[in-house]
């Protein structure tokens, strides 16, 4: 290589280096709580991942569960903290994508049915006919814990759609909003993520003399981190494994409390086959 060619190659590499170094790993999360809480908690996760991966990492918020799936599909984000249903939907749309980590609690997640005291509903071990004619709110239409599994168990128990069982059916958009709507009396009953409810109770953010748990679902798999199948091609061989390891190594109580989870464990796509089957069974997804 003569000096002219060598100088050109060095100059070209110098010119291209900033673009390579500026490559940013972007992630999002389903908006299961209000945006302020999400931005605060996932901003900390972005800082942690940036330190572990030694590349720029950015969290971007989205307005809805479907927007999180769309951002993943269009490569606006390369990873997302999905619920069980949105994760299945996203991986179906982006072949090769992988569920890589889940909270220790996510192997046996559950939903609470909560009711306003004026509804006159007592806690029970089963769903009863006392629910008939009440007003009911789910969370987001794409929520596993706020819609998919609660609807599945309602249909299983009553053999009818929620729209015929209840006097009025709504979709609050997120778990915090579901709690607020039931606590205010705007709806008699609602379905909510148990972790969001428990955290709100612990923080003293709701009046449990006005709103209470009346039933809880059996356990099911839920939240997980899912990464695009082309992440290694974009960020380097072994990148997916490095991201997974960084998540599994997250032990800072402050970071874990933001989810809240006690820690993260490996996850695979196969772990969420029951969620896909449930979604197909009640007509939310089509069989592939």
Q: What average pLDDT does this structure show over 96-121? A: 96
pLDDT above 50: residue 9: no
pLDDT band at 1 (very low <50, low <70, confident <90, very high): very low
pLDDT above 60: residue 13: no
pLDDT above 90: residue 271: yes
> Pick from 68, 212, 53: which is nearest to 140 by CA?
68
pTM, whole model, 2 decimals? Answer: 0.80
Tokens at residue 151, please? 């609807």
> Pick from 74, 86, 110: which is nearest to 30 by CA?
86
Q: Which residues contact 130 (CB under 8 A, 6 or more apart)?
A: 120, 121
Angle, alpha carbons 233-84-89 (nearest 5°): 60
Per-residue pLDDT at 2: 45
pLDDT in tens, 147-196: 999 999 999 999 999 999 999 999 999 999 999 999 999 999 999 999 99
Question: Residues of the chain with pLDDT > 90: what percent?
Answer: 80
């Amino acid at each position: 290589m003569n000096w002219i060619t060598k100088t050109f190659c060095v100059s070209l590499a110098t010119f291209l280096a900033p673009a390579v170094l500026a490559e940013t790993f972007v992630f999002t999360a389903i908006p299961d709580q209000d945006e302020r809480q999400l931005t605060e908690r996932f901003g900390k996760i972005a800082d942690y991942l940036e330190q572990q991966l030694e590349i720029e990492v950015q969290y971007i918020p989205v307005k809805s569960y479907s927007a999180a799936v769309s951002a993943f599909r269009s490569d606006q984000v390369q990873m997302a903290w999905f619920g069980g249903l949105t994760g299945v939907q996203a991986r179906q749309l982006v072949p090769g994508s992988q569920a890589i980590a889940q909270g220790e609690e996510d192997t046996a997640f559950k939903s609470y049915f909560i009711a306003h005291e004026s509804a006159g509903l007592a806690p029970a071990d089963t769903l009863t006919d006392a629910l008939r004619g009440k007003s009911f709110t789910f969370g987001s239409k794409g929520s596993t814990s706020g819609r998919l599994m609660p609807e599945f168990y309602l249909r299983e128990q009553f053999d009818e759609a929620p729209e015929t069982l209840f006097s009025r059916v709504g979709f609050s958009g997120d778990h915090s909003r579901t709690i607020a709507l039931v606590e205010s009396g705007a709806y008699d009953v609602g379905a909510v993520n148990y972790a969001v409810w428990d955290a709100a109770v612990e923080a003293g953010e709701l009046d449990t003399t006005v709103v209470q748990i009346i039933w809880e679902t059996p356990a099911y798999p839920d939240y997980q981190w899912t990464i695009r199948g082309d992440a290694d091609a974009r960020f380097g061989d072994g990148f997916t494994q490095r991201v997974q390891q960084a998540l599994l190594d997250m032990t800072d109580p402050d970071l874990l409390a933001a989810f809240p989870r006690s820690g993260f464990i490996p996850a695979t796509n196969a772990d969420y086959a029951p969620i896909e089957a449930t979604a197909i069974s009640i007509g939310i997804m089509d069989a592939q």
